[in-house]
Structures are given as structure tokens and as C-alpha cells.
Amino acid sequence: MSIDEPDNFTIHNYQPRDEADILSLWQECELVVPWNNPLTDIARKTADSPHLFFIGRIGEQLVASCMAGYDGHRGWIYFLAVRKAHRRKGLAARLMRHVETKLIELGCPKLELMVRDSNTSVITFYRNIGFNPDPVMVLSKRLTEDDEHNFA
């Protein structure tokens, strides 16, 4: 634990009572985009695999999130976020270690994630905790549209 790492940081599974706080966290961290309704994202995750949706608290305050997935072949990371006031204290690294432990317990052999290549500070973060770039192109295809929202 680094010298300024809060020792009252605790990690939990997301609960419905966390919805407003998660939304506020994602808005602060600019993770809410017009084409994804965050409440729909939360509803899909809690219906599919709530055991892989994590929040971090300092005391009672929700300060961090990470939505993980495991498809039977690879693990995936989404919505990793830490409130601005609590950054550079090792919280995201701690949360990621917790998620990696949970995924290993499920038999997951490798983690993957997507970061915009312009997001250099986040790339530095991920490289610092052991991720390396792969020479791949990410292709995607939208299957359904989310309802419109006003959260972005």
C-alpha cells in the first residue's frame, strides 16, 4: 500500500441503491456517451452478471467502479473510473487487482480492454499495471439501439 493510499477503501458488488452514485461518477469521468444509455448499461449488466460489476467506496462514498465480463474465453473491462478527487492514490490499481482475482477464480486466462488511442493517461495507467498493446483492429456492429437519454 502506498503512503497516501486510503486504508478505508473497500470493494463491493454493485447494488441497485448505487445507481445514482454510479451515474454521477461516470458523468464526472466522462464515460457517458450519447449512444449508450447508462441506465440501460447498468440494467443489462445486473441482469447478466452482477457478480462482475464492482464499486469502490471510501467510507460510505462511492468513488470507483469497474464493470468486468467473462465470455468463457477472455475477460473484458469496462467503466473503470475513479472520482477526480481520489485519483493517483492507487485505487484503480487496487480495484483492478480485485477484478483480476475474481476473473482468475472463474478460470479466465486473459484480460482485454479497449481504450481510445488518444487517451494517453489511461494507456499509461494500464501499461503500469501490466497491460500491453496488441496489434489488432477492433471492429464493432451495433445490434440494437439504446433509448435516448439526457445524461451525457
Ligand X SMILES: CC(C)(COP(=O)(O)OP(=O)(O)OC[C@H]1O[C@@H](n2cnc3c(N)ncnc32)[C@H](O)[C@@H]1OP(=O)(O)O)[C@@H](O)C(=O)NCCC(=O)NCCS
Torsions phi, psi for 12 (to 5 deg): -140, 165
Show the cell assigned to 42.
Answer: 447498468
Task: From residue 57, give the alpha-carbon distance in Å to each of 4, 51, 65.
Answer: 16, 17, 9
Which candidate, 48, 49, 54, places its Cα nearest to that of 12? 54
Comparison of 57 and 107: residue with beta carbon closer to ligand X: 57
Neighbour count for residue 108 (Cβ, 10 Å): 21
Piece of 14-22, 40-48, 81-89, 99-107 that binds ligand X (CB under 6 A): 81-89
Comparison of 44 and 88: residue with beta carbon closer to ligand X: 88
- Residues 32-71, mask of contacts with ligand X (x by CB under 6 A): ----------------------------------------
Contact positions with ligand X (CB under 6 A) in 13-32: 29, 31
Binding stretches for ligand X (CB under 6 A): 29, 31, 80-82, 87-93, 115, 119, 121-122, 124-125, 128
